[in-house]
Structure 1
């Protein structure tokens, strides 16, 4: 009898402990799954940080303002070039000639002043670009152009209608914007957007994602309501015709 009671007590204790351990685990699993679902509900379904999506290298550091001095200097240089060409109506040949004249004047003054000031003239610094400088630029530009062409052809041959329409709409929008302003202004707008929008999104990604998903949910609800309303109208017209 005692053995039976002890066995029953042991069985009951095991069942109680199993139930006690199981309840909090299921609760926390549900909570963690909900938190993960809310955490990964990012724009375009992304699950990686913005820095990783931008390449994760020095270019991503510049675009996300990891080093504020470098990012500010790059944006200032681009703005200066745009102001020179657009507001002051300079041309590339004019700027190149002015720069070469300035370099020649500096070298001329340096060489003559050093000859008068000392018996042994100091060596004038020479400006020389590396031989592979333009080769690297050409390789980089060619690789980016080929990657863009590959992406466009993959979209056109992939069979994804939604992605195809998005790319075609983007190209048509770029064509319309290009009709409003010249090519340099379009490049400058894209350059400024690339140096401002990613860092703003990274700082306020939760608010932006929630706002975008709210708009998408509202549009989806309205479209579903409109589709239901139109289906009712069509059914009513068909019934009326059948009755006649």
Structure 2
């Protein structure tokens, strides 16, 4: 049991070190976004209200998902496909232009 806990704590510390040193930018922005979200929610309410609300959500959401699983899954898949289409459009319009601009600036330097 001790070896299991030690291994997981070491994994967490290694990931934290990578985030702090800037080796994993994507994970850094995920952590920053979640911390910002927690800060905003914490600023809007007090701890006791947040605790009660979280308890209600944790107890009701799984039951509602089990009951309406087919509907939720179909809408989730539909939304995922729509987001993929929007990402392809965004990528083709802006990201490729930005990459070309960076390459041109690097050639000039």
Specify which of 62, 69, 93 is matched with residue 198 of structure 1. 62
Greater per-residue helix proportion = 2
Residue pair 1:156, 1:164 contacting (<8 A) in 2 also: no
Partner of 2:41: 177
Query: 1:208 maps to which residue?
Result: 72
| TM, length-normalised to structure 2 | 0.59
**Aligned-CA RMSD value:** 3.4
Higher relative contact order (CA 8 A, sep 6+): 1
**Alignment: residue pair count:** 88
Task: Give the gaps of 5 or more residues in structure 2.
Answer: 101-109
Where do 5+ consecutive residues of structure 1 fail to align? Answer: 1-145, 236-244
Give 1:143's aligned residue: none
> Based on CA coordinates, which of the two structures has the bigger radius of gyration?
1
Deviations 1:22-54 (A, max 9, x none): xxxxxxxxxxxxxxxxxxxxxxxxxxxxxxxxx
Matches within 5 A, 1:144-159: 150=9, 153=13, 155-157=15-17
Aligned pairs for 1:105-184 (under 5 A) are 150=9, 153=13, 155-157=15-17, 161-184=25-48
Q: TM-score, normalised by structure 1?
A: 0.29
Secondary structure class of the residue paired with 1:197: helix
